[in-house]
Amino acid sequence: MNKQDLNNSKSFGDKVVPSPLEVPVATGRGEVLNIGLVGAGGFAGFAAKAFLSISGINIIAIADINENIAKQMANDLNAKSYNNYEIFLKEPGIDLVYIATPPFVHYQQSKMALLAGKHVICEKPAALKLSEAVELVSLAASLNLLYVVNLMQRYNPLYDVVHKIIKKKILGNFLHGFFENYASDENLGIDNWFWDETKSGGIFIEHCVHFFDMFSGWLGNGEVVNAVQMQRPGIPKKITDRVHSTVMYKEGIVNFYHGFDQPKILDRQEMRILFEHGEITLYEWVPVKMKLHGLVTDDELKSLKELIGEVDVIYHNKKQAGNQTVKGRFSEINFDDEITLECGNRADKQDRYHELLTNMLTDQWNWIRDRNHKRIIDGNNAVESLRTAEQATKSAVHF
């Protein structure tokens, strides 16, 4: 099971119109946080199980336009069910609204929840337009409420390892990177909302925000220098199933490719980051395996082991004892060892996914309880990732 399979079943897709609501004070500052879920699809169910593994988390209400699936999930979770969003928002016990619906209703549902005095965690993207994401962040700040989009990649322990390697320059300066996403469309029928850009925003906005945010966390915010969108040939309707963009960061460029055209059994992802003294490769869209190859000193190898912790396998390619010197980029590189290091297991993907969700919610709840808590992601992540996605969408050449 991957994220797109779960996203496929996002529900509560009817358009809703915000109405003025009295703004009560959101709670959740004690030892209990009561959550209302919006959208009773597959991903909401997966997220609910992760959330409920956290002590003090309760799910007390489910809202979906499909009354039957709302009731089914509510029965499973011992919660109330609603098929009217405004009535759901008047439920006084809800501290936080978690939104897992198609993207075209994210802005409206998030705004209504904030105006109802509820904290909000929304699935990506924040909205279909950058201006709407900016508005939501501003509104939440004015009401002293939490608003965040679930860009959970930064809660991955491998994300943190890569971030520290870059910051410490263990492999030298960053030069180039790529992310290649060969995703499955096996469960995406021709009439699925995913292909309708008026509902999804297109692949850059619906999907790529995860990875734009991830790389900006490592490299700082970037600027799109070119983009391409490619249509699927031989079908009666316009469907864009492959996109590519190049983003310029301070020290180098990253190429992003996303194609939704593979059978599920071949769904696979790989990202690579090239440095002056080596490279890091991460596997799966939620990275669970890492391979590092490079030239390191004994001290740098010690630092890597401390950062990574348990290492599955490490190959030493030492040709001679002691310090060695080579040249690259007109400079000398002093090293003691050429290594290939591997850690992680692709079979751990669902456990890692569960871990990211629990880490994300715990981090956000800590902020609700203590406004001095520094979160790993906040509303700015939603805005900046959507800014890059909107740049790519607007500048893309179509084929």
Phi and psi, residue 347, nearest 5°? -70, -10
What pLDDT sits at residue 320? 65
CA distance 262 to 258: 11
Q: Give the pairing type, strands 397-398 and 278-283.
A: unpaired
Angle between helices 42-52 and 67-77 (to 10 degrees): 20
Buried b (16+ CB within 10 A) or exposed e, 211-228: bbbbbbbbbebbebeebb
Q: Return the SS3 of 240.
A: strand
Q: Are 208 and 392 in contact (CB under 8 A)?
A: yes
Residue pLDDT, tens place only, 268-286:
999 999 999 999 999 999 9
Question: For the residues 86-108, what does the mean pLDDT come to?
Answer: 96
Q: Return the SS3 of 214.
A: helix
Which residue did the predictor score with more confidence, 93 or 15? 93
pLDDT of 11 higher than 70: no
Helix (H) or strand (E) holding 47: helix 42-52
Residue pLDDT, tens place only, 107-130:
999 999 999 999 999 999 999 999
From the list 26, 199, 20, 40, the residue with the least C-alpha distance to 112 is 20
User: What does the DSSP assignment read for 97-146?
Assistant: EEE-S-GGGHHHHHHHHHHTT-EEEEPSPS-SSHHHHHHHHHHHHHTT--
Q: What is the set of domains in the chain, with CATH numbers?
A: 3-151 (3.40.50.720), 154-351 (3.30.360.10)
The DSSP code for 265 is G
Task: pLDDT band for 20, please (50, 70, 90 cuts).
Answer: very low
